[in-house]
Structure formats: structure tokens, C-alpha cells
Chain A
Amino acid sequence: MQKLGEELRNRAGQKIVDPEYLLFEAPREKVFMTGSEVVKEAVKRASVDASVSYPITPQSEAAHLIGELWVEGYVGVYFRGESEFGVMSELAGCSMAGARTITTTSGPGTLRAMENFPMWAGSRLPIQLVLMARGINSPLSIQPDDLEVSFLLDTGCMVWYAENAQELFDMILAGFVVAEQPDVHVPVVNVINGFFISHTRESVMLPPDDIALPPYNPYKAPMPPIDMEMPPGRFLRDPFVMKSNYISYATHTSWQFEVRAAIERARPYIKKYLGGLIEEFGDPESDIVLVSTGTGAAQAKEAVRLLEDEGVKAKVVKLKTIRPFPINELREAVKNAKVIFVPEFNVVGWLEREIRRYLYKHSDAEIIGGPRVAGGMTMPPEIIAKDVLNYLGKEVKHVY
């Protein structure tokens, strides 16, 4: 970081501004771009120190575009890992050494890297992963399907879910700000539905690209960064299992609770920087509620419009975060609900499971796990509307 007069500038010469200014106050201009291009625009304004990549559809383009930022001087270090496992391990090294880090992956890449995610969380590394969700093999699929998200829910990482390219842009920047808070300081996974968001163009409002987030300050981290220049150099994190079983049991328990507690501490910061853990759309008093995430929420909003044409009032509760789960917000949002539909892009219904868990004994509503599509199928709003109309015993006029 360099100081020019009263101004602080990062390595790319961008002016350092407060996160609040970058996210809420800076003037924005409308552009038309894909989700992958939006990742580049967010990283460009994030004073990122290191990114490691590995190709896998559909995130390869975003990873490639971060590489272009390295060429242009916006990202400090960029290289290709040996595999997704290599990528996530190498990012851990960068983060332990005090770097702000980001990477992207999809589907099988997520699973290949899996061992690293709880390691990131347990080491309190605020690494950001943009997950462009895709099907899990086998059989091979490169199509959008978000089954892989369910594998991440108990890794100790925060899991956020963006509905569109605009939200992805804002969540990437907010992700660094929230994840790097000293009392949070766990990884953040920003999920989008692959292809639907990564490969389609939409209008996005962007702030100027000559301003950027303040750099990461590793000396406010809840664990000491590895710094061989600063004595005592040896702050290695010895595994306590090697020392005594008594220590292992006791400390490991407290340690795991501490990582989960850190996610809970993110709630006030998420409210500030994302404007809340949920978003509601439609008739706020309706007793028909569609609870979903990401593209599922976008399609559910369209279904609410279709239902309105049929004389049926409904509302959408979009969950912006899955970890931390918006427990109180969801309970409040569905307090008048008689029926809750959970549209999802996977075969297992992991979101339905989550919702049932947190509404158990807190809602009398009937919870219907669906409609569900998987394997890359789209979810036309008509099928959501059809399920609702069928439930209500109303005539379905549309052709499906």
C-alpha cells in the first residue's frame, strides 16, 4: 500500500475507500455482462493478494479472467494449481501468510478439494470461494445442479447464495469484509447456479474501477499469521492429537464450537453489508410462501407474478445465507404461512431438510419439498405455479 498525499492506494494504484462507500455510496454505472465477467469486476475492486485456479466447467472463464487481472497488476499472485485439492491447499498457505485470497470452482472440483474446507475453517482463514454449482459425477454432468452445496454446510465455512450477477458482485466484496472481521474470520463460499448466472448476460450496476477495498490486515486475525520476520518465528499450529489424547478431546471440541460460534458472529455484519439474511418478494401477508435460494428464488418470483394473474397471492422468501442460517428471519417471515413450497435444483432436497429442521415446532405450515429439478434442467416458473394451483385445487390454465 502506498500513500499519495492524504490518499491511500493499493498495488494497482486504486484509491482505497471504506467498504461502506464502495458498496453503498459510490456512483454506479450500468453494464451488460455475464456472471463470470462480474467475478472479474468484483475481484478488480477487492485488493486481492493471491488467487490460484484450476479449470473446470462452468467456472473456468471466471478463473481465467482473474488471471487477466494479475497480468494487469490488480492481483498480487496468480497461478494454476495441480488440481482442486492443490488449489485449496495452496490458497491456505497464501492466507496463513497474510494474503487476501479468492478462487472459483464447480461440481466435482468442489468434492476433490473437500478436505481443505474444514481445514480452512479450523485454521480461521478468511478465504473466499466462488462456487458455480454444477452436477456431481457420476454420470458426468457439466450442467447446473446444486447438490454439491449440501456437502459444504457443515465444513465451518459461511455459505452465501447469490440470485443474480448483481448480487454476486456485491456478495464477493461484502464477503471479504465480513469474513475478515476478527471475530468472524472463517471462509466464505459464495454460490451461484452455474451457467444460469455464470454464462448469461444481465444488467449490473458497477462502481468505478479506480477505487478498491482496504487491504486485508492479517495482524487483526484471531490466529497469528505465519511471519518469519517477526519473532517468535515459530508459531506453528502443532496438532494436539500428537501430544496427548486428553488435550485432543477437550480442545478439539472447544475448537469446533468456536468455529461455529464465529459463523454466528457474522450475523450483524451480514445484516449491515447484505441488507439482511433474507429478502421477501410478493404479498407480505400471503399464507402461500415459496422459500428458495439463488436461481430457484428468481424463478419463484416469476411464479408469484404468474399466480397473481390467476388471482392467487403468494410470496417468496429468498435465503441469502445458508450458513449462518437465517433462523429467526425465516420463522418471522413464514409465521402466517399455511403452506411452504421449497423449489430446488437438486434431487435430495437439502434446502427442504434445512427448512424443516429450523421450522420444527415453530410453524404449523405444511412444507412441500418441491418442485425440484436436477441434472441441469431449467425450472420454468410455470411448474412452480402449477404445483401451487394443484395444491389449492384450482384449474391449471397454462400449457406446461
Chain B
Amino acid sequence: MATLGPSHYSPYPVAVYENILPPPPGKALLLTEVVDEEVAMREAAKAMLTRENPTIFPGPQVIYAWNEEAKEKARLIRELAEVLGAKIIPMVDYRPKYPKIDPEKEINPNHPNLTIWHNNIKACIFVGVHCHYANVALKIIRAETDCFTIALCSNAGHEDAMITLRDQHSEELKKFIEIAKEVKKEVK
């Protein structure tokens, strides 16, 4: 729990208070460092392939068939999960659940730590989660767990994730899958 700095006794440290902003277009963020997208993809794949219980958390933008891109992304995410040997636990919506979610079946942005604790998840990917809810959840995860967080964002990225890739659409997902296949060979 953060006891120092601008976040003070809040359990949730905030990256922008440490002067970390989302990466500029064409770049990615690896912890506090702005790096090339490919470098970040390799590190993300490595984290998912080497840490315990890697899990992908797909959000409403890709688990509902809003449009053709959403359908294509959903297909690619299943392929990515296979390559990474990752479980898929969806974030089906953003409403807080009462009295408690079933952490084996879903993750919720209001208490994402419950799902991560229950499943002992040490690396995860957020994809298709609306930015506000991803940011709320990533701050909580960063403070409450030792899970390595990766955000694949179709907009500007998420500085509270440990790796964030921005402007991620179908083409970028395909590239990530190919890089993950290469890294998989290297880590074995």
C-alpha cells in the first residue's frame, strides 16, 4: 500500500503523479520507459509465457459483436490465448456485482483483485475494455496484487499498466500473435 507521495494513504498509486504519461503515437510503454512497439510486444509475450496462470481479460468492446472489427478481434484474441497458453476470463460489463462476483467466471473493474487473487494470476492482458474502466481496474491491480499487467488499447494506452500498447487493432493483434509465436520458441 502506498504511504508516500501524492497518492498518500490511498491504496492506489497513480502513474501520472510519477510523471508517467501514455506513450506517444507509434510507441509503447514498458514500465516507465517509452519503447518501440515490437520491443513491448516481445516483453509482453515473455511475461505471459513465463509467469503463472497467464490470463486474458477481454472487455465488452470485443466480446459483443458491435461491428466486424470486434468480431475479427475476438477471433484473434482466442488465437492469442492459444499461443500464449492463457486462460480467458471476460469482463462482461462494468456494473458492480452484489454480493460478489464468481471470480472463476468473470472479472469486474470495481474489484478486479478478487479474480486475480482467486486464480493466482501473475500476468494478464486487458483488451477491449473501455479506457476509464481499464484505468480504474489497473490502478487497483497494481496496488493490490503482484500481477504483471499488459494493456492492448485501441486508443491512447494505459500508463497504469506495466506494458501498454496503443492504437491496437486487428493488424497489430496479428503482429503480436506472430511475435508471441517467436518468443514461445525462445523461452522453451
Give residues in A with beta carbon < 8 Å to B: 124, 181-183, 185, 220-224, 230-232, 234-238, 240, 243-244, 246-247, 250-251, 253-255, 257-258, 260-261, 264-265, 267-268
Contacts and interface: CB of A to CB of B under 8 A. Distances in A.
A324 to B, nearest CB: 10
Contacts of A223: 130, 132-133
Contact of B140 (A234, A240, A250, A265): A250
A246 B64 CA distance: 29
Majority DSSP secondary structure for residues of B touching A? loop
16 contacts: A223-B133, A224-B130, A236-B95, A237-B94, A240-B110, A243-B98, A250-B11, A250-B111, A251-B111, A254-B12, A254-B137, A257-B14, A258-B139, A260-B16, A261-B15, A265-B22
A230 B110 CA distance: 24
Given A224-B130, A247-B96, A261-B14, 6 more contacts: A183-B131, A183-B155, A254-B139, A257-B139, A261-B16, A268-B24
B5 to A, nearest CB: 12
Contacts, number: 101
A146 B19 CA distance: 31
Nearest to A263: B16
Given A223-B130, A224-B130, A238-B95, A264 B156 contact: no
B53 interface: no
A240 B156 CA distance: 27
Nearest to A259: B132
A235 B98 contact: no
A268 B130 contact: no
B96 A251 contact: yes
Contacts of A255: 136
Contacts of B140: 250-251, 254
Interface of B: 7, 10-12, 14-17, 21-22, 24, 60, 64, 66, 93-100, 109-111, 130-133, 135-137, 139-140, 155-157, 159-160
Nearest 7 pairs of A and B residues by beta carbon: A222-B131, A182-B155, A222-B132, A183-B156, A264-B16, A243-B96, A240-B96
B93 A243 contact: no
A327 to B, nearest CB: 10
B135 A222 contact: yes
Contact of A257 (B12, B95, B97, B137): B12
A238 B96 contact: yes
Contact of A182 (B10, B111, B156): B156
Contacts of A254: 12, 136-137, 139-140
A183 B64 CA distance: 23
A230 B14 CA distance: 33
A97 B36 CA distance: 37
A185 B94 CA distance: 18
A232 B66 CA distance: 9
A182 B131 CA distance: 7
B132 A258 contact: yes
Nearest to B144: A250
Given A251-B111, A253-B10, A267-B21, A221 B130 contact: yes
Contact of A183 (B14, B98, B157): B157
Contact of B21 (A182, A246, A264): A264
Which residue, of B12, B64, B110, B156, has the highest number of chain A Cβ atoms within 10 A?
A: B110
Contacts of A235: 60, 93-94
Contacts of A268: 21, 24
Contacts of A240: 96, 110
